[in-house]
Amino acid sequence: MATRPDLSGRSALVTGASGGIGGAIAQALHRQGASVIVHGRRQDVLEDLARELGDRVDVAVADLADREDVDRLADRVAGVDILVANAGLPGSGELTDYSRADADRVLDVNLGSPVRLTHALLPSMLDRDRGHLVYISSIAGKTPSVGASLYAATKFGLRGFALALHEDLRNTGVGVTAVFPGFIAETGLWGDTGLKLPAGSGRLRTPDDVADAVLEGIATNKPEIDVAPIVQRSGGWLTGFAPRLVAASIRAGGGAKLSKALAEAQRDKR
């Protein structure tokens, strides 16, 4: 059970809330008393979520691949206490399978927009000596997964950004947490594919598990929280010591075949 902070009187922006994981995060923050701004590109889905939550909810539609849209979003939510940068594109598949435009879109949404939103929202948090920045990365931001170089670039980058920012903001009242989901059941970039993991991969975590990790991060200011079975987490632990061994283990476990199937299943989300 995650530590649950009292967020009464606090405000939060959740990007990518039109997806299952973002929706679960928005619901968790709202249950703890926060006023929540739910962001996405699908206004109808966001409005359904807002009706489900009831009061203390606002809807913000923006394309995070468009820098002007990111700036407009930042202006609209100026003064929020919590940023949860959850929005993301798959980025799965060989790099050469992407057009330049598609590759830039993955980089802008997954890494560029969290940095730009942080740059815009952090000063007011520092002025108030209060706030929390949460970045939804991925276990792929810790392990050298085959067939996911573009996705890994964004998620490794988000990890480095969060870790360094956590150090920069020590003793300021503003916290930073990066959350690292593995394969998530039911919904999200993996859950929506309908693919099955090899036997022995461990129990898939759920969107509610990710939401609990967000609450824990806000309550404790832990710099990193994994949301994955031990098989997936162990790759992250070992990569710093033996990256070639981890990569070889992933290949031996059918990682290339799985990555190819994943890229094909996610092609329409690029």
Strands 174-181 and 131-136: parallel
Yes or no: say if 89 and 106 are a contact pair by the CB < 8 Å rule: yes
The structure tokens listed for 39 are 């962001």
How far is 228 from 74, CA to CA, in rounded Å?
31
User: By C-alpha distance, which of 27, 28, 46, 30 is closest to 38?
Assistant: 46
Yes or no: say if 28 and 84 are a contact pair by the CB < 8 Å rule: no
The active-site residue, picked from 135, 151, 156, 180, is 151
The structure tokens listed for 109 are 């949404």
Yes or no: say if 225 and 217 are a contact pair by the CB < 8 Å rule: yes
Yes or no: say if 230 and 202 are a contact pair by the CB < 8 Å rule: yes
> Is 98 one of the catalytic residues?
no
Which residue numbers are catalytic? 151
